[in-house]
Amino acid sequence: MTALTPCGDWRASYAADTTIFPTRNSRIALLLGIAILCCAPLVFGRYELSLLINIGFLGIAALGLNILVGFTGQISIGHAAFFGLGAFVSAYLHERYHVPVLLCIPIAGVVTALIGLVFGAPAARLKGLYLAIATLAAQFILEDFFARAQWFTGGVSGRMTESPVLFGFALDRDETYFYLTLVWVIIMFVGAANLMRSRDGRALVAVRDHYLSAEMMGINLAYYRTLSFGIASLYAGIGGALYAHYLLFVSVEAFNILFSIQFLGMVIIGGLGSVMGSLMGAAFMVMLPEVTQWGADLLAGSSIDRALKLGASISFLREMVVGAAIILFLIFEPDGLARRWRLIKAYWKLYPYSH
């Protein structure tokens, strides 16, 4: 409600038109929101904090995928593989070359981005379902590589890693790691919001909306498609590195096709082409299994539970709920949670007199 201007749009300059937070209230709300989040470790327990941290690094990776899918219109079914690449690069750099973990995270992002560019260059020629199929193949090939490359990933036994250390102070508890994740979330989300109002960001959107017209206006299609693949990989790499140093163990089996689909689910549920939507989608996807678990616990011991074996098959139930959520959102709310949020804000704008 704070981002809405009180009476219509009145913008006198181009800078005023592209500003991210148009009113003073929205800027105050932002700072207030960050301040409240900073207090979260004082209020929440370990469980809630670990959910928030999960939302943080998954949200960063989902934002990367949203830049690729939602802003550029390129489909990728292999995002989890790049997420895993970031995790392994960071863990490998730390163990092999003893690079400090805090430095490992951005380096892992850059390395993943470079590898993403290598994959993205040939993918720039493809679009639509051919790209979907090619990235699906890339997912399987990278998964196979993870299982095979013993020196890099530790093979089937996975790779252990360590917590980051800041000035001799280990960020090894949820309360401290939360701040690290929060800092990265703010950097990456502000970065993406700024990218979208730059020349390059507008070019990406033009490629999505009508690639032939974009090309005629002088936008280099191959360059921007490859660039967007690189940016998506950068975000995936940083998200993956944060994941690795939070869980302290990276397993090769984690980055499977289902994880990739979950990323796509986050982007769709959050809203294609919405920066904040990515975070909402990630939050939804993190909360969904928890809510399923909660529902199953509620029914535990009842006759429904006994008839359906809910407790024993909770992992299947979670997968089903993910699939069902994706389908239901596509049918009933194709623009995702971001649109819901806008509608809620618009409702409160005129609150007592909305009719």
Cβ proximity to another protein, 36 vs 324, nearer residue: 324
Binding test (CB under 8 A) with another protein, winner from 323, 345, 348, 350: 323
Q: How many residues bind another protein (CB under 8 A)?
A: 47
Residues 6+ apart with CB under 8 A from 287: 51
Q: How far is the CB of 53 from another protein (least distance, A)?
A: 25
* CA gap 242, 236 in Å, rounded: 10
Residues 6+ apart with CB under 8 A from 151: none
Q: Is 265 in the site for another protein (CB under 8 A)?
A: yes
Which H helix or E strand runs over 166?
strand 165-166
Site for another protein in 87-146 (CB under 8 A): 122, 125-126, 128-130, 132-134, 136-138, 140-141, 144
Cβ proximity to another protein, 56 vs 271, nearer residue: 271
Q: How far is the CB of 116 from another protein (least distance, A)?
A: 15
What are the structure tokens assigned to 51, written together? 């959910």
* CA gap 189, 353 in Å, rounded: 34
What are the structure tokens assigned to 346, written together? 């618009």
- Strand-pairing partners, residue 160, are 249
What are the structure tokens assigned to 330, written together? 């596509």
Can you give the length of the chain in residues? 355
Q: Is 157 in the site for another protein (CB under 8 A)?
A: no
Sign of CA dihedral 62, 67, 68, 70: positive
Site for another protein in 26-85 (CB under 8 A): 69, 73, 75, 77
Q: Is 350 in the site for another protein (CB under 8 A)?
A: no
* CA gap 128, 86 in Å, rounded: 26
What are the structure tokens assigned to 48, written together? 């809630």
Given a contact cutoff of 8 angstroms between Cβ atoms, the answer to whether 60 and 235 are in contact is yes
Site string for another protein, 204-243 (x = CB under 8 A): ------x-xx--x---------------------------
Strand 159-160, strand 165-166: pairing? unpaired
Q: Is 272 in the site for another protein (CB under 8 A)?
A: yes
Cβ proximity to another protein, 137 vs 190, nearer residue: 137
Cβ proximity to another protein, 109 vs 336, nearer residue: 336
Interacting residues toward another protein by CB under 8 A: 69, 73, 75, 77, 122, 125-126, 128-130, 132-134, 136-138, 140-141, 144, 147-148, 210, 212-213, 216, 258, 261, 264-265, 268, 272, 309, 313, 316-320, 322-327, 330-331, 334
